[in-house]
Amino acid sequence: MLYVVGIGSGSKLHITKEAEEVLKNVDLIVCYKNYKKYVERFNKPIYTTGMTKEIDRVEYALKEAKYKDVALVSSGDPTIYGLASLAYEINSIKNYNVEIRVIPGITAASLASSVLGSPLNHDFVVISFSDLLTPLSTILKRFEYALKGDFVICIYNPLSKKRKEPFLKAIDILKDFVKDVNYIIGIVKNAGRDNEEYLITNFEEFYKNLEKYLEFIDMNTIIIIGNSSTKIINNKMVTPRGYLNKYKIL
Amino acid sequence: MLYVVGIGSGSKLHITKEAEEVLKNVDLIVCYKNYKKYVERFNKPIYTTGMTKEIDRVEYALKEAKYKDVALVSSGDPTIYGLASLAYEINSIKNYNVEIRVIPGITAASLASSVLGSPLNHDFVVISFSDLLTPLSTILKRFEYALKGDFVICIYNPLSKKRKEPFLKAIDILKDFVKDVNYIIGIVKNAGRDNEEYLITNFEEFYKNLEKYLEFIDMNTIIIIGNSSTKIINNKMVTPRGYLNKYKIL
């Protein structure tokens, strides 16, 4: 049996009871090498590979899962930019016939939202800026439609030392929308972890100090761009759900 | 202190350690009346109100939180269609000066995704079809941009006995996109709860049997419409992340 398990931030605080129980009971844990530290406490054999070795990791997990209970661990939720789909795909292509079960986890969008206040509290999009597997034109097209729809926008994998182009091109697109709205922007690094940091600003201030923000943002950062109603309340980023437009407060 | 706490599906399996600890330690729990059953096990005083009484519930929680530790409980994640924003707004308007902390939870999108397979495994939008607080024109505009962007679409509050119009209008919009793609559609009722049920189909089949599906769907249902790459693999709904377009499997 293969369990594809989400562990949230990696902190003991953000794991569910279900994920905890599964990890206590499997025979083998398979994960990305930098996440080994989050699962060592379960005292199981651990197989790890590095970045871009996802196929290798999933194949190993599936092969072992023919005879054992294996947990393929993702941070956050395994169905949100995690390895659940790849497990289903390879299982079918290679005819492994392994039974697969997904154990959901708290995704980084929720963790980042809780740190910033409540920016996701209306319709939103989640979009990854990594162009390793998605053409840049698709990323930018989606970003533009998200802005046209006045969605709150939550960006995963915004930029790395080597990959700044998608982010900078998106900022150019955003600039064209700013004549109407000075978007509130929330930036959370290492959400839910010991070294968590966050900033809340608006587009104007962000753009003026772009270099400074580019230094701060990395691959473990989530960026949330508000919709046209998002505001700052007591230093928190809040997107109203709309109750106060409809009902009076006495 | 006011904790705005997400409890996921309501099942003990899907709550985080952090939420569990907070609920064990507060003096009072405030929640929607139908969720009382999920928090009774903490043996705390519980204050509940019904649907459309959200402002009352939040005000009560904030007033009590001046002197006590209070948990305002949402199912799923409190920043995703939950009451976190309203708490920040009322706290500011009424000058309660209560300290607010959001405790994230697993949102219904992740729960539903894990049940269906892995449909959210690429860029997606989350959109509520309730037009109680959002104009129908905004909902439909967003739905259309989501389709244009080829996002996976996750719909909360799709319809109720009395409110079918947004859903039916959205289906009309979807129909115009179907000439290119016979979208895979996943429907999950009561995700993560004992009475969980799900169906996976495609647009053609869905539309042919619309009446049957309208009977099945309710306010506790999440609907996920795939993007143009989403497929059915071994009876599960899977949206590829793109690894197999880039890397060869040997």
Tell me, yes or no, whether A135 lies in a domain: yes
Tell me, yes or no, whether A247 lies in a domain: no
**Domain identity same for B114 and B230:** yes
How is residue B213 written in tokens? 């599906």
Question: What's the CATH code of the domain at A169?
Answer: 3.30.950.10
Domain that holds residue B43: 2-106
Partnered with residue A152 across adjacent β-strands are A124
Residue A127 C-alpha, separation from nearest chain B C-alpha, in angstroms? 5
| Across B3-12, average pLDDT | 97
pLDDT for residue A245 is more than 90: no
List phi, psi (to 5°) of B85: -60, -45
Taking an 8 Å cut-off on Cβ atoms, the answer to whether A88 and B145 are in contact is no
Work out the end-to-end distance of chain A between its first and last CA atoms, rounded to an integer number of angstroms. Answer: 57
Strands (E), A95-243: 100-103, 117-118, 124-128, 152-156, 184-189, 197-202, 221-225, 231-233, 236-238
What is the tens place of the pLDDT at every residue in A97-143? 999 999 999 999 999 999 999 999 999 999 999 999 999 999 999 99
Nearest to B242 among A103, A134, A244 (CB): A134
Question: Which of B14, B16, B56, B193 should be substituted to probe chain A, the one whose Cβ sees the most A Cβ atoms within 10 Å?
Answer: B16
**Domain identity same for B94 and B130:** no
**Domain identity same for B102 and B113:** no
Residue A224 C-alpha, separation from nearest chain B C-alpha, in angstroms? 13
User: Closest Cα partner for A151 from B150, B110, B220, B128?
Assistant: B128
**Domain identity same for B226 and B128:** yes
Partnered with residue B76 across adjacent β-strands are B8
Tell me, yes or no, whether A131 lies in a domain: yes
Kindly state the percentage of chain A with pLDDT values over 90.
93
**Domain identity same for B148 and B233:** yes
> Is any Cβ of chain B less than 8 angstroms from the Cβ of A162?
no
Taking an 8 Å cut-off on Cβ atoms, the answer to whether B234 and A88 are in contact is yes
**Domain identity same for B83 and B10:** yes
What is the tens place of the pLDDT at every residue in B158-180? 999 889 999 999 999 999 998 87
Tell me, yes or no, whether A248 lies in a domain: no
**Domain identity same for A28 and A95:** yes
**Domain identity same for B98 and B162:** no
Model confidence at B181, pLDDT cuts 50, 70, 90, reads confident
Range 139-158 of A in CB contact (< 8 A) with B: 139, 141-142, 145-146, 148-151
At which of A76, A106, A136 does a domain end?
A106
**Domain identity same for A99 and A120:** no
**Residue A223 contacts residue A217 (beta carbons within 8 Å):** yes
**Residue A232 contacts residue A200 (beta carbons within 8 Å):** yes
Instruction: Count interface pairs A-B at CB distance under 8 A.
Output: 260
Model confidence at A250, pLDDT cuts 50, 70, 90, reads low
**Domain identity same for B129 and B21:** no
Question: What's the CATH code of the domain at A88?
Answer: 3.40.1010.10
What is the tens place of the pLDDT at every residue in B96-155? 999 999 999 999 999 999 999 999 999 999 999 999 999 999 999 999 999 999 999 999
Average pLDDT of every residue of chain B: 96
Tell me, yes or no, whether B247 lies in a domain: no
Q: What is the pLDDT of residue A181?
A: 87
Other Cβ atoms less than 10 A from the Cβ of B235: the count is 8
From chain A, pick out residues whose CB is under 8 angstroms from the CB of B138. Answer: 150
Tell me, yes or no, whether B249 lies in a domain: no
From chain B, pick out residues whose CB is under 8 angstroms from the CB of A228. Answer: none
**Domain identity same for B96 and B113:** no
Partnered with residue B29 across adjacent β-strands are B46, B71
At which of B89, B106, B123 does a domain end?
B106
Nearest to B104 among A93, A111, A240 (CB): A111
A14: nearest CA in chain B? B16
What is the tens place of the pLDDT at every residue in B35-81? 999 999 999 999 999 888 999 999 999 999 999 999 999 999 999 99
At which of A55, A82, A106 does a domain end?
A106
Tell me, yes or no, whether A249 lies in a domain: no
Three-state SS at B27: coil
**Domain identity same for B44 and B123:** no
From chain B, pick out residues whose CB is under 8 angstroms from the CB of A243. Answer: 54-55, 86, 89, 133
Look at chain A and report how many structural domains it folds into: 2
